[in-house]
Structure 1
Amino acid sequence: MVGDQVTQYRLLGMRLFASSHSIKEQNMKRNMGTIDRGIRVFVAIILLGISFGSAFASSGVLHWVLIAVALVFLLTAAVGNCPLYSLIGIRTCRAS
């Protein structure tokens, strides 16, 4: 009886692993279109310019917040996947 329960738990664990693996693959699909990615790069450049070029944002917390947001925008534009879009269910790219 104990051996059967162990086997059932192992099978359940394999199913959970397999389902989480397929969820990861599904979430990493591209969900951003070319225009969206270009806008993100443009906004990131503007944010970096503001954080380094303006007097009110050249130091302090605002400086680092602008840099962090710009880096997130650049990273998501480079990868072509926005985790927030995946959560909400938005796709700005053509269906493949």
Structure 2
Amino acid sequence: MFKTNVGGTDRVLRIIVGVALLVLFFLLPNAGYRWWLLLGIIPLVTGLMSSCPLYSILGINTCSRK
């Protein structure tokens, strides 16, 4: 499907940041900026899939596998 271009450390950081933002979304129900926290879906999904479309466009590859 998508080419793997996200390496181990990058992947773990994306998952942690994505989960943290989504947890904050549910913990801060009255914050005015709450909906911006849903952007945590992007790093979470790209981390879980080990593929980032933006990396593909920019020609970046943090995956050590060839």
**Number of residues paired by the alignment?**
66
- Among 65, 68, 86, which residue is 2:56 paired with? 86
SS at structure 1 position matched to 2:35? helix
Change over 3 Å in CA distance of 1:50–1:87 after alignment to 2: same
Structure 1 unpaired stretches of 5+: 1-24
| 4+ residue segments displaced more than 2 Å | 58-62
Q: Calculate the aligned-residue CA RMSD, in Å.
A: 1.9
- Among 3, 9, 12, which residue is 1:35 paired with? 9
Give the TM-score of the pair, scaled to structure 1.
0.59
Higher helix share: 1
Query: Match of 1:62?
Result: 33
Rg (Cα) greater in structure? 1
Does structure 2 conserve the Cα–Cα contact (< 8 Å) formed by 1:31 and 1:82?
yes
Give the TM-score of the pair, scaled to structure 2.
0.80
Structure 2 unpaired stretches of 5+: none
